[in-house]
Chains A and B, each alone.
Chain A
Amino acid sequence: MDITEYIKLVFTDYTLRTITLGTAILGAVTGMLGSFAVLRKQSLLGDAISHAALPGIAIAFLITGAKDSNVLLLGALISGLIGTFWIRGIISKTHLKSDTALGLILSLFFGFGMLLLTFIQKQPNANQAGLDKYLFGQAATLVESDVWMMAIVTGICLFVLLLFWKEFKILLFDADYTKTLGFNTKLIDILITSFIVLAIVLGLQTVGVVLMSAMLLAPAAAARQWTNSLSVMVFLSAIFGAFSGVFGTAVSASQNNLSTGPVIVIVAGVFVLVSFIFSPSRGLLFKQIRFIKNRRDLKLHKTLAFMYNIAETHENISHPHAIKILNNFQGYTKATLQKLVQKNYVKLDGTMWSLTEEGFKIASNLYNQQNDNNE
């Protein structure tokens, strides 16, 4: 299947359109909220919440006996919220650190959820088949009403985000200070956390309990590499998340037997990898290039400064020196000198090297210039 054919199919085929749209919206909203989770250093919270949602799904099924996705997600929402508040309670009431509290709640709730799932599978109710799909998600089960639900939640989330942008931002940066300004930090905190829980619950059907946290973290981690502005980061993160959804769906639809959720997560992972390597300011590649360039510049400066020092002891600034003299003292390479010749700072006369007028001027200003650069 070629690309144009696939794009045509996205617009005409009901299932493909629903899944593409659903995963794109999901990616956008989790990416958006994920920025906040990452900046609050609550990356693991998403993982704990999604795992904590599992028993809610099972209990909702046990009570209603039906597999209506909205009811199940409501159960997930409730148990996710309970898990979140228990985590906060453990952190504030005991000496335990947040990673311990997160790990504890994550595994306890997940274990309980698995227990319930196996119990449900032993039941004679024929309806129970497929409940375990919530573990890794199954995008194919998405229907139009699910997408509508996602779109509405995303819309509300966006609205609240824009409304309380200033409050969210200052709380993320400096919570104590925010309190002294008279803001109810608890309220802002609950607002952010509730939306994170909501976004995670929305994605359980598509991506599943186990992988959901990657949808939250990967787009945000990638976006952080490209910008130093919070608004741009949130925007980029939403875009990365949406594209992970679209590309992931495309890859899994074009191959047989590729589960959509994991593919989406892998695509998001590729975004992270590319960002870590190629981002201009924070990426590994450009960091290394800058490092090498700095070292080279330093070598040139060192040579130039040394020639300047010995030139000052002579009447004529362009007094020539054999490379041996330059070499013996500090071990300069010919390559460095040749580069200086290229820049017209140094002149080569037979086997003798000498400073030019320009080189002398540059050298005498070298340290002043460097100070300027540092400031």
Chain B
Amino acid sequence: MSKQIAVKVDDLTVAYNYKPVLWDIDLEIPEGVLMAIVGPNGAGKSTLIKSILGILKPIAGSVSIYDKPYEKQRQLVAYVPQKGSVDWDFPTTALDVVMMGTYGSLGWIKRPGQKQKKAALEALEKVGMLPFKGRQISQLSGGQQQRIFLARALVQNASIYFMDEPFQGVDATTEIAIINILKELRKAGKTVIVVHHDLQTVPEYFDWVTFLNVKKIATGPVKDIFNDDNLTKTYGINYKVSIQE
């Protein structure tokens, strides 16, 4: 494949106190893939994303985005955190949260204006949440909150999207709506990296996969490497899944 490398991780090691959470991770993610990161609880999936994005400080290793250090390429990257990472009783509206996606391009002090508002409304429309724009965010269901987070990332108009368990606690309708948006992003040439829990849906949703359990077990196209061998290596028990062609 002659595709460009969108994200390159070198020797990334993260430890909380003495316990390594990620050990010497090397990872190359080609442009335009929809990639799942899978692994058991405590495998370091969220930690990997957070370290790539500079939220956590690794003890070793480097991250580059399109061959330049991440710090210089932030505007190319958008992040969808876990829904449970914020307090949804915060006094603000759905539209306001989505507007936050424009803050990065605005920089310090400058306030969002009409242009930013228009972009936020478009993103809300895309995730089907336009009728709820004025709603206080605690009045939204879990699935709606997830869509709001997705819209906030869409507003950033990035090239690479990192998402931490976007399907957690959402109903089937929302899951389909979200995966359709992710597939659309891929079609538009964007790279999407998703921490994912449901192994059954990996072959259906994703075309690229990384197996992670503190160390990187394997990474590559789903059709080549999503097999019992890698699943067993990652999860430690004999895993039987049927791979849908």
Given the known interface contacts A39-B90, A173-B97, A228-B93, the answer about A180 and B77 at a Cβ–Cβ threshold of 8 Å is yes
Count residues of B near A (Cβ-Cβ below 8 Å): 30
Q: Is A182 part of the contact surface with B, judged by Cβ < 8 Å?
A: yes
Task: Give chain B nearest CB distance to A349 CB in angstroms.
Answer: 44
Q: CB-CB contacts of A117-159 with B at 8 A, as 1s and 0s?
A: 0000000000000000000000000000000000000000000
Q: Which residues of the partner chain A approach B23 to less than 8 Å between Cβ atoms?
A: none
| C-alpha gap A62/B144 in the complex (Å) | 59
Q: Tell whether, in the assembled complex, residue B92 and residue A177 are in contact, meaning their CB atoms are under 8 Å apart.
A: no
Q: Tell whether, in the assembled complex, residue A228 and residue B136 are in contact, meaning their CB atoms are under 8 Å apart.
A: yes
How many inter-chain residue pairs (CB < 8 Å) link A and B?
76
Stretch at the interface among A77-85, A161-169, A238-246, A294-302: A161-169
Q: Which residues of the partner chain B approach A42 to less than 8 Å between Cβ atoms?
A: none
Given the known interface contacts A170-B100, A228-B91, A230-B91, the answer about A180 and B79 at a Cβ–Cβ threshold of 8 Å is yes
B106's contact among A41, A166, A224, by CB below 8 Å, is which? Answer: A166
Q: Tell whether, in the assembled complex, residue A173 and residue B54 are in contact, meaning their CB atoms are under 8 Å apart.
A: no
Q: Who on chain B is nearest to A95 by CB?
A: B17
Task: Give chain B nearest CB distance to A374 CB in angstroms.
Answer: 10
A/B interface sample: 29 pairs, CB < 8 A: A39-B90, A164-B108, A165-B111, A166-B110, A167-B109, A170-B100, A170-B103, A173-B90, A173-B97, A174-B81, A174-B86, A176-B79, A176-B81, A177-B79, A177-B81, A177-B100, A177-B152, A178-B103, A180-B55, A180-B74, A180-B104, A181-B74, A181-B103, A181-B104, A182-B104, A183-B103, A183-B104, A228-B91, A232-B91
The 9 A-B pairs with the shortest beta carbon distances in the complex, nearest first, are A181-B104, A228-B136, A180-B79, A182-B74, A176-B55, A180-B53, A174-B86, A228-B91, A230-B91
Interface residues of A (CB under 8 A from B): 39, 41, 95, 163-167, 169-170, 172-174, 176-183, 224, 227-230, 232-233
Other A-B pairs, 10, CB within 8 Å; known A39-B87, A174-B85, A233-B91: A166-B110, A173-B87, A176-B55, A177-B152, A178-B103, A180-B78, A182-B104, A183-B103, A224-B91, A230-B92
